[in-house]
Amino acid sequence: MTGPDVMFPEEQRQISAVCQRLHRDANAKAVLLIGRDGQPIAEAGEVGEIDVTSLSSLTAGNVAATGGISKILREKDFTSQFHEGEKTHVHITLVAGRAILVVLFDERSSLGLVRLRVRKATGELARLFEQVAKKAAASTGHSILNEITDADIDKLFND
Amino acid sequence: MSFINYSSREINCKLVYYGPGLGGKTTNLQFIYAKTSPEAKGKMISLATETERTLFFDFLPLSLGEIRGFKTRFHLYTVPGQVFYDASRKLILKGVDGVVFVADSQIERMEANIESMENLRQNLAEQGYNLDKLPFVIQYNKRDLPNIATVAELHDALNPNNVPEFEARATTGVGVFETLKAIAKAVLTELRRGSGG
């Protein structure tokens, strides 16, 4: 088993900036970045009405299921998916096998524009995730986890 | 796989409830959902068939409080227990931090329990995990029903490594939170151990 996935404040700030730029450049309703196991990482745009936790978990399940289908078909991973709705459309892309980029858009944008802008953003995000991985490898042993005591864990479960 | 966000100061972990069909995995999550305060839980999602059998998974996000200023969040998943949904079970085990095996105590389900336990071990191995090294607890559910195996019999068949085990009656909640606490604690302890702490 490998260690936990991590995110640091500096990279979080840069990743959020990429999501905000993508939201603007793609004329999207909202942009979400999700960890491969369904943990929300960053968001931009009109997310107030959306249950981000549920959407993240379902999207990760969807991507995992699609990955399973690609294996059965002996295809390489399907790197993107598109769901066409009546009002809202969803574009889903894998980022360097580490995260899932979700763009929600409507008639103010188009699939072509979203695809174009997503391509640029995924390159930047992949670079930032690489940076996070390097930093995490270098900081082994300085994790918050080292500071946790038995008493801290017990306290969490006191009724 | 757990996710530690130093920016939002959160520790996120994934727990999976595994076991044979109709053993009470979804009922465990439903009870936890019903008895948890609104601020500590998110929406519970069930991807189920028309006959309310789990089709893909149930999902329940829970917040357990703070450790050293970090919010601890647990994402609880169930797998579909029916034998033919094996491909889906494999997907749900990806990134798992801890497993609860919900066994059905009825004597006629003993074989299904053993088969599901073997299936768990094999599916974990395919993802690169060793069940013996993963935070793991077992729940013997449906203790209120007639015609059940004794705990000793269940233990002998399912728990050779003596992991924590709990008797339960998930419909009324008996043993449900005890099981959850035990696995959550085991996951946090393992996270700390894995970091060298």
Sign of CA pseudo-dihedral B87, B34, B2, B20: negative
Q: What average pLDDT does the structure give for chain A?
A: 92
At B187, the amino acid letter reads V
> pLDDT tens for residues A18-61?
999 999 999 999 999 999 889 999 999 999 989 999 999 999 99
Which pLDDT tens digit goes with each residue over B40-97? Answer: 999 999 999 988 899 999 999 999 999 999 999 999 999 999 998 999 999 999 999 9
Hey, where are the domains in chain A? 9-156
Q: Kindly determine whether residue B45 and residue A64, on different chains, have CB atoms separated by under 8 Å.
A: no
A69 touches chain B (CB under 8 A): no
Judge whether B155 and B163 are in contact, CB under 8 Å.
Answer: no
Instruction: Determine the Cα–Cα distance for residues A146 and B2; give it in Å rounded to an integer.
Output: 15
Radius of gyration of the CA atoms of chain B, in A? 16
Calpha distance A134→A96 (Å, rounded): 14
- Rounded mean pLDDT, B128-136: 96
Residue type, A151: A
Note the pLDDT tens digit of each residue in B98-113: 999 999 999 999 999 9
CA distance B3 to chain A (A): 5
A143: which chain B residues are within 8 Å (Cβ-Cβ)? 4, 195, 197
Question: pLDDT category, A2, cuts 50, 70, 90?
Answer: low
Which segment of A12-16, A88-92, A142-146, B71-75 scores lowest on mean pLDDT? A142-146
Domain A9-156 has CATH 3.90.79.10: no
As for the ipTM of the complex, it is 0.86
Integer CA distances (angstroms), B30 to A65, B14, B43, B47, B78, in order: 24, 17, 11, 13, 11
A139 in reach of chain B (CB within 8 A) = no
Which residues of chain A neighbour B64 with C-beta distances below 8 Å? 156-157
**Of residues B50 and A1, more confidently modeled:** B50
Give A143's pLDDT tier (boundaries 50, 70, 90).
Answer: confident
Residue B152 has pLDDT above 90, yes or no: yes
Domains of chain B: 3-194 (3.40.50.300)
